[in-house]
Amino acid sequence: MGQAMKIAIVDDEKDMRQSISQWLALSGFDTETFGSAEDALKALGPEFPGVVVSDIKMPGMDGMQFLKRLMSVDSALPVIMITGHGDVPMAVEAMRVGAYDFLEKPFNPDKMTELAKKAANNRRLTLDNRALRRELSDGTGLMKKLIGSSPQMERLREDILDLGQADGHILIDGETGTGKTLVAHSLHAVGPNPSRAFVIHSCAGVEEDVLAQRLFGPLDEGGRLPLIEEARGGTLVLEDVDALSHTLQGRLLTWIDEQGSPPETRIIAISNLQEQGKSCEDVLRPDLYYRLASMKLTLPPLRTRGEDILTLFSRFAEGFADEYGCEAPDVSAQEAAQLLQAPWPGNIRQLINIAERAVLQSRRGTGTIASLLMTDAQEIAPTMTTEGKPLKEYVEAFERMLIDNTMRRHRGAIVQVMDELCLPRRTLNEKMAKYGLQRADYL
Ligand SMILES: Nc1ncnc2c1ncn2[C@@H]1O[C@H](COP(=O)(O)OP(=O)(O)OP(=O)(O)O)[C@@H](O)[C@H]1O
Ligand SMILES: [Mg+2]
């Protein structure tokens, strides 16, 4: 059971609370007893790492009022109520208010243990989940890998937290390299069962019967479990879902329907049809499409993410510079404009690649970012134009990047940054506020 979960036992009858406590302690729980709801309330906070077992009939605050108070402190706290024999209406009311379950007196101690274990498990998942969610929204963990502060990225983060926590299937569409696979990982990580299986498989370029067997079984010669079994209870990511044949789509549909709702195994279907100007809606059977696309995420192409392009470039360049033990190249205003204007058909993957080559180039002291962009795609305008975007946007994005890089290099030492950029303190402060840059992030 890992670290022992706590059980708070609340009963005005001493014998009763002690016998429950002894019994549950034998099953490995860390028990604590309270003679009244009032006493218990003082000890139970919103992050209580365990389960509450409470009698309903008690002098002073009764079990029902106690339950209501607990629910307002933490509505996900599992509370097991003990009701008098035949007290069905009371039990029903307790469940309505949010009790986890109830036990009728006299109860079988094994049943109590079993219920407590289930409730403790449920509690552990809730707390893990909250911790993960906090961690992710704090910017550590997987979500930290998602760089960018453009409105599109902010919305994507929110969507990931929301959809990840919901329990339906999800469809992700977006051009190649926009982060679909990374987002699928993040969705699983913020979801209700991050410790369960995460299985990822591509439906493209495989013969139909081979794919059918891999997905649905029976076991292949290697004795590998079919993917739907391997992923059971967790997440099954189907990359290139649009490559599924009509027959396999039908089998997938049947399997989805057999699971009922909420599904035991969540499917995250991925396609990049958008890139070809098509939609999964045009290619998948409508019945399957609607089951998968009940929640849909479309990842924005890099070229529409504005200043994120420069942020991503700087971050990745710094990362590679660290790796290769050299300095990250300085990005001139002209190069920044070129990065902002490039069409980025390979999106973030392409940008990572260019950042790496730019670092290697600057280590050798040759070449420009422009030439890298040029060799990557001929269609990039060789001269700087402001077509499509107002000049102001480029200037601001560049300014933001310069301040960000300089702050980073000087680890937030304001005076050095002021000197280097020839900016008075007030102007620097104003600009940092304008671009959402905080000194604390650089220290
Ligand atoms: N917002 C982001 N911040 C930082 N890195 C990112 C971001 N989005 C994607 N990446 C990185 O970009 C690369 C490409 O992302 P990913 O593989 O998820 O794209 P994809 O859409 O699945 O591509 P494909 O269609 O080719 O499968 C990965 O290295 C990923 O970690
Ligand atoms: Mg991918």
CATH number at residue 93: 3.40.50.2300
The verdict on 153 and 254 lying in the same domain is yes
Domain for residue 140, yes or no?
no
The verdict on 355 and 423 lying in the same domain is yes
Residue nearest to atom 24 of ligand 1 (CA): 176
Instruction: State residue 284's pLDDT score.
Output: 94
The verdict on 289 and 313 lying in the same domain is no
Whichever domain contains 232, its CATH number is 3.40.50.300
The verdict on 162 and 71 lying in the same domain is no
- Centre of ligand 1 from the C-alpha of residue 272, in Å: 13
Residue nearest to atom 5 of ligand 1 (CA): 146
185 touches ligand 1 (CB under 6 Å): no
Alpha helices in 271-307 (DSSP H): 280-283, 286-292
Which atom of ligand 1 is closest in space to residue 348's alpha carbon?
Answer: 12
* Integer CA distances (angstroms), 201 to 147, 191, 247, 367, in order: 25, 19, 18, 39
Give all strands of the β-sheet with 79-83 in edge-to-edge order. 30-34, 6-10, 50-55, 79-83, 101-104
pLDDT in tens, the chain (443 residues): 446 799 999 999 999 999 999 999 999 999 999 999 999 999 998 889 999 999 999 999 999 999 999 998 888 899 999 988 778 888 889 998 899 999 998 889 999 999 999 999 989 888 877 776 666 655 446 667 889 888 899 899 989 988 988 889 999 999 999 999 999 999 998 887 788 889 999 999 889 999 999 999 888 777 788 999 999 999 999 999 999 999 999 999 999 999 888 899 999 999 988 888 888 888 999 999 999 998 999 999 999 998 899 999 999 999 999 999 998 888 888 888 889 888 898 999 999 999 999 999 888 888 788 888 877 755 444 444 445 566 777 778 888 888 988 898 888 999 999 988 888 888 899 999 988 888 988 88
The verdict on 324 and 294 lying in the same domain is no
User: Looking at 71, 97, 132, which one is the last position of a domain?
Assistant: 132
The verdict on 383 and 367 lying in the same domain is yes
Residue nearest to atom 18 of ligand 1 (CA): 179
The verdict on 57 and 84 lying in the same domain is yes
- Centre of ligand 1 from the C-alpha of residue 282, in Å: 25
Instruction: Among 158, 171, 182, 200, name the best residue to mutate to test ligand 1's pocket (greatest count of ligand atoms within 8 A of Cβ).
Output: 182
The verdict on 164 and 294 lying in the same domain is yes
d(CA 237, CA 423): 50
Structure tokens at 316: 């990745």
Domain for residue 79, yes or no?
yes
* 201-236 b/e (C-beta count within 10 Å ≥ 16 → b): bebeeeeeeebbbbbbeeeeeeeeebbbebbbebbb
- Centre of ligand 2 from the C-alpha of residue 290, in Å: 22
User: Looking at 258, 283, 300, which one is the last position of a domain?
Assistant: 300
Backbone angles phi, psi at 266, to 5 degrees: -90, 140
The verdict on 107 and 149 lying in the same domain is no
Domain for residue 363, yes or no?
yes
147 touches ligand 1 (CB under 6 Å): yes
Q: Domain count for the chain, please give it.
A: 3
The verdict on 324 and 415 lying in the same domain is yes
Residue nearest to atom 10 of ligand 1 (CA): 179
146 touches ligand 1 (CB under 6 Å): yes
Give the range of the structural domain holding residue 210, as residue numbers without chain letter. Answer: 145-300
User: Looking at 132, 159, 183, which one is the last position of a domain?
Assistant: 132
174 touches ligand 1 (CB under 6 Å): yes
- Taking a C-beta distance cutoff of 8 angstroms, is the pair 108, 272 a contact? no
180 touches ligand 1 (CB under 6 Å): yes
The verdict on 364 and 438 lying in the same domain is yes
Domain for residue 1, yes or no?
no
* Integer CA distances (angstroms), 124 to 1, 50, 106, 136, 169, in order: 10, 8, 28, 18, 24
Residue nearest to atom 15 of ligand 1 (CA): 179
d(CA 314, CA 320): 10
The verdict on 334 and 417 lying in the same domain is yes
- Centre of ligand 1 from the C-alpha of residue 348, in Å: 6
